[in-house]
Amino acid sequence: MADDTPPPMIARDPVWQKALRVAVPILMLVLAVIIWAVIVRAKEIPPYIMPGPELVAKALVNDWPTLYPALLVTLKITFTALALALIGGVALAIIIAQSSWVELALYPYAVILQVTPIIAIAPLILIYAPSTQAALLICAFLVAFFPILSNMTQGLKSVDHNLLNLYELYGASRLQTLLLLKLPASQPYFLTGLRIGGGLALIAAVVAEFAAGSAGEGSGLAFRLLESQYRMNLPRLFAALILLTGTGIAIFGLTSLISHLMLRRWHESAVRREN
């Protein structure tokens, strides 16, 4: 049975193009570091104002025993907050999507939590929370929660009406409609929420720690940043900053990878077409 032709499958890039795709950003990074080193050396900038890359690298190695536990603390807060925000955001979105009355009752509070600057409620949370760690967790959770909730709610509401009709026609139960239609259909929205929420969770974990002014053992990278600043230990400050940036990039990469794996077979955002 002949038919009009299906869309052509995506052409594979040649190998050299793939290699360039990796090489270009790496070369750019190396170039930037070299320029940094050259400027610091040429202008003889003292290390307590602007350390060169080799000093920062040395600090990263030498101060690792101090920085590593701090990194673990920040990572733990970020990922716990993100996990809680995912569970809470998706669950609340499902409840909201069941009835517009529930939405009317609950959604305003979610908006209020979102629009109030987290730094402004942090002191209050610090008073009420049983420990500083718990307070930081709550702050990071509150920030990551809303983008996941609002995207997921939008996704659950944006299901194709004809498909909803089709499910109704075949006598699908509410649970079947949720599991087989609404949840799969909102995957792209969920993943957008995840990417935004993941980035925000890290930012909130750092900002909240600044606000909490936590100190000593069991502190995260934000405390080590402040501490280095007080002691004018700029190489260590830069090292801590690099760790934070690295964490952020890793979260972005991880969420993008999850998104790619979930959408690559079917969603328009994952399709590359040649015209």
Partner 1 sequence: MTPTSGAVSNETAQKIQPHHDDAEPLSQRPVVCLHGISKMFSNGTLALSDMSLDVREGEFVSLLGPSGCGKSTVLRIIAGLGAPTSGHVDWPRSASGRDHKPNNAIGFVFQEPTLMPWATVFNNVWLPLRLAGRSKNQSRERVMEALESVGLADFANAYPRELSGGMKMRVSIARALVPRPQLLLMDEPFAALDEITRFKLNNDIIRLKERYGWTVIFVTHSVFESVYLSDRIVVMAARPGRVIKEVDIDAPAERGEAFRTSAQYAAFCRTVSETLHDAISASHREIA
Query: What residue ranges bind partner 1 (CB under 8 A)?
Result: 1-7, 9, 160, 162-163, 165-172, 176, 180-181, 184-185, 187, 265-268, 271
Q: Do 143 and 84 touch, CB atoms closer than 8 A?
A: no
CB of 63 to partner 1, least distance (A): 47
Closest approach of partner 1 to the CB of residue 272, in Å: 12
Least separation in angstroms between residue 179's CB and partner 1 is 11
| Shortest CB 168 distance to partner 1, Å | 6
Q: Which is nearer to partner 1, 124 or 163 (CB)?
A: 163
The string of DSSP codes covering 84-153 is HHHHHHHHHHHHHHH-HHHHHHHHHHHHHHHHS-HHHHHHHHHHHSSSHHHHHHHHHHHHHHHHHHHHHH
Which residue, 1 or 61, is less far from partner 1 as judged by CB?
Answer: 1
C-alpha–C-alpha distance, residues 203 and 103, integer Å: 28
Name the minimum Å distance from CB 235 to partner 1: 49
Among residues 21 and 264, whose Cβ is nearest to partner 1? 264
Give least dist CB 183 to partner 1, A.
Answer: 10
DSSP state of 4: S
Q: Measured from the CB of residue 258, what is the shortest distance to partner 1 in angstroms? A: 15
CB 140 within 8 A of CB 197: no
Check: CB of residue 252 under 8 Å from CB of residue 192: no
What does the DSSP 8-state code read for residue 270? Answer: G
Nearest to 182 by CA among 153, 211, 219, 142: 153
Nearest to partner 1 of 167, 223 (CB atom): 167
Nearer to partner 1, 119 or 180 (CB): 180
Question: How far is it, in rounded angstroms, from Cα 167 to Cα 169?
Answer: 5
Asked if residue 257 lies in contact with residue 194, where contact means CB atoms within 8 angstroms, the answer is no
Provide the total of helices (H) and of strands (E) in the chain, helices listed first.
12, 0
**CA 169 to chain centroid:** 40
Residue 8 or 216 having the CB closest to partner 1: 8
Task: Select 116 or 165, whichever has its Cβ closest to partner 1.
Answer: 165
